[in-house]
Amino acid sequence: MLRNKEHNPVEVYDIINYHLQRCLAVPICRGFADMTSCEHHLCIYIADSVVKCIHRLDSQGKAATQWPVNDRPQGLSVNTAYNLLVTCFLPPKIKEFSSHGYPLREITLPDDVINPRHAIQLTSGQFVVCHGREGDPVHGVCMISAHGRQIVHSHGGQRGSSTGQCKVPIRLAVHSSECVLVADYWNRRVKLLSPTLSYIRDAVTSDMLKGWPRRLCLDKQSHLYVAENEYKDGLCTAGRVVVFSV
């Protein structure tokens, strides 16, 4: 778990009893945007939106390195080739790096994808991308072709709260069935979409949460970890991770 604090911001918990195991330091990190891990390379990646770089730690918090993104990183994910995908706001694109920061390719997203938040690459090579900030007229989730130029399927549209709409879809998770889970931030829910991005149901409803869902993680046992924050007078006052079976 990543906390927005100066010292030892990464906390490692036991997944059986949820007991804190250790804390990890991140050298010279100024703006935490996202975090993900790679079980193949046994490392953790953290996106720094202020320095515009990626921090890489090994699983014990040692051997810390970083490399520049040269754009503002937002969301992180690891693909089936064990490379890191970095979703960037402006210009809207996905950057792929090797585990040690070697740039492999850049994918410019279609014009209709404004302010992308997070992207995950499917086994087919296609990408699922969520997009939309608070002031944007369009908020949704798109499935984009492997070359990045074509929208294959989409969900959402005008910002709203109906089953077919979103208000700041902020993070994604993909099930082994290729159903898509979306953290619909301002609607305080997690939506479950089909592999073609049709609405199935709300996997997590607002009455299951105390705050607003900001991050998702889905493990191989279909346990969904939802990081939520509570706010008062515009300030984050509390946060927790809630675990669901999906």
Q: What is the tens place of the pLDDT at every residue in 118-145?
A: 999 999 999 999 999 988 999 999 999 9
- Does the pLDDT value for residue 22 go beyond 90? no
Q: What is the pLDDT of residue 126?
A: 97
pLDDT (tens digit, 9 = 90+) per residue, 141-152?
999 999 998 999
Q: What is the pLDDT of residue 212?
A: 94
Q: What is the pLDDT of residue 32?
A: 85
Side-chain half-sphere CA neighbours of 36 within 13 A: 29
Q: What is the pLDDT of residue 40?
A: 95
Cα Rg of the chain (Å, integer): 17
pLDDT band at 28 (very low <50, low <70, confident <90, very high): confident
- Does the pLDDT value for residue 107 go beyond 80? yes
This prediction has a pTM of: 0.94
Q: What is the pLDDT of residue 63?
A: 73
Per the prediction, the chain carries an average pLDDT of 92
Q: What is the pLDDT of residue 161?
A: 95
pLDDT (tens digit, 9 = 90+) per residue, 197-245?
999 999 999 999 999 999 999 998 999 999 998 888 777 778 899 999 9
- Bond preceding residue 91 cis, omega within 30 of 0: yes
Q: What is the pLDDT of residue 169?
A: 97
Rounded to whole angstroms, how far apart are CA atoms 184 and 207? 14
Q: What is the pLDDT of residue 14?
A: 87
